[in-house]
Amino acid sequence: MKNIDRIAEAFSGQLGQELMESSRKRVHWICSSVKGENILDVGCSQGIASIILAREGRYITGIDICRESIDYAKRLRDEEDEITRSFVEFECIDFVSHVKKLDQLYDCIIMGEVLEHLSDPVRFIEYADSALAKNGVVVITVPFGINDYHDHKRTYYVTEIYNTAATFFVVVEVFFWGGWIGLVCTKESISSSPFGESLFTRAEDAFYKIERRLVDRVSALKLELENVDAKYRQVSEQYASLKNAHSVLEKNREGVIVELAGTNKELSETTNRYAQANTDRTELIASLKSANSTYEKDREGFIGELSTAKKENSTAKKELTAIKKELNETTNRHSGERTELMEKLTYSTMELGNTIELLAAADADLQRIHTQVAILQKENSTYQWKLNRIINTLPGKLALRMYRFLRRIKYLTKK
């Protein structure tokens, strides 16, 4: 797993308020402890301290073995103004290789959160000594106390980090803040050691703050644990209630399954009845089609008979009209003849016998005509009775309605 530090993101507040405050305090302390103009930032990470120092006009080289961190630092540098960019360089290289190719010494070397990652931190202190100018300063920061990061090789308290730095340098300042400890070291000896009552007091104060934070965290965790226990009991009660409800539901489910089986049986029976009804319906439709076909044939025959009867009735009406006309003509003619004969009878008794004979003959003709008229009237009554009987049936009414409809169409067509 790569050791990717996100100090610039923490510094800008992207990782939360608490990290922002602690990161800014640490970075600002590092920058304020720097001396000289030519500076090397070892393990520069995302380059925020290097860029801050470059803004102040110091020449600074930031190195780190993590390519992602160097790329991020270069992107931050490219967002700066041209003057700041001219004062800072970033390179992906390890510290030892960088020192071996040096042709000049640095006024200040920064080792921010570097030594805790090393198996042999004294080796780095030795290389820092070889790369530092005579009056130069080394600024070191490490996590103070236990910090279980995956790449940490050791835990630093006051004595170990002090002794590590003191192998080649003189520790001139020790600073505590939060969970970190910082050292400022020089090559020159000093008259007084920072290991005095003040250092122990500050160390104890740092321990107190760490312990206070841990105690507060433990108290918070205890309270959270109590809340979790309460929620657990509540959830347990809810689980028991749900379990009982589930048991009831299971019993209800068994009853529902039985009811569902009965319902399925009824549904199957209903389906069978529906299938039988559908079969009966098909047979009924076939019967209706057959009956309709028969009805259509009978209707066509009836319409034919009706048409024939109408023709016969029309012929009879014409014959009756002709007979009536002939009867009227004959009646008129015989009436004239009778009048003439009566006149002749008045004027001539001699011709009475002949006239009586003619009158008898005329009466016989009249009787015959009356007989024919009675026969025609009887036939007409018979035809009229048949016609009325036909018309009063449903087919007759339909035929009559069809006949009137056709006459109406014919009448409208002539118009």
Could you report the per-residue pLDDT of 26-58, keeping only the tens digit for each? 999 999 999 999 999 999 999 999 999 999 999
CB 177 within 8 A of CB 144: no
Read off the pLDDT of residues 274-328 as tens digits, 9 standing for 90 and up. Answer: 788 788 788 878 877 876 777 678 777 767 777 776 787 788 778 778 878 877 8
**pLDDT reading at 107 higher than 50:** yes
**pLDDT reading at 208 higher than 50:** no
This prediction's pTM: 0.51
Distances (CA, A) of 36 to 104, 109, 132: 14, 10, 11
SS3 111: strand
Q: Is the domain 7-195 a CATH 3.40.50.150 member?
A: yes
**pLDDT reading at 197 higher than 50:** no
| Strand 132-143, strand 106-112: pairing | parallel
The pair phi, psi for residue 72, each rounded to 5°, is -65, -45
End-to-end CA distance of the chain: 106
Residue 401 tokens read as: 């309605």
**pLDDT reading at 214 higher than 60:** no
Task: Output the CA torsion sign for 11, 13, 18, 21.
Answer: positive
Q: Which among 107, 98, 96, 97 has a CA at the least distance from the CA of 139?
A: 107
Distances (CA, A) of 96 to 67, 99, 126: 17, 5, 10
For residues 266 and 282, give the distance between their C-alpha atoms in angstroms, rounded to a whole number: 24
For residues 356 and 344, give the distance between their C-alpha atoms in angstroms, rounded to a whole number: 11
Q: Where are the domains of the chain?
A: 7-195, 299-414
CB atoms within 10 A of CB 20: 16
For residues 133 and 35, give the distance between their C-alpha atoms in angstroms, rounded to a whole number: 11
Q: Which residue has the higher pLDDT, 75 or 331?
A: 75
SS3 236: helix
CB atoms within 10 A of CB 10: 22
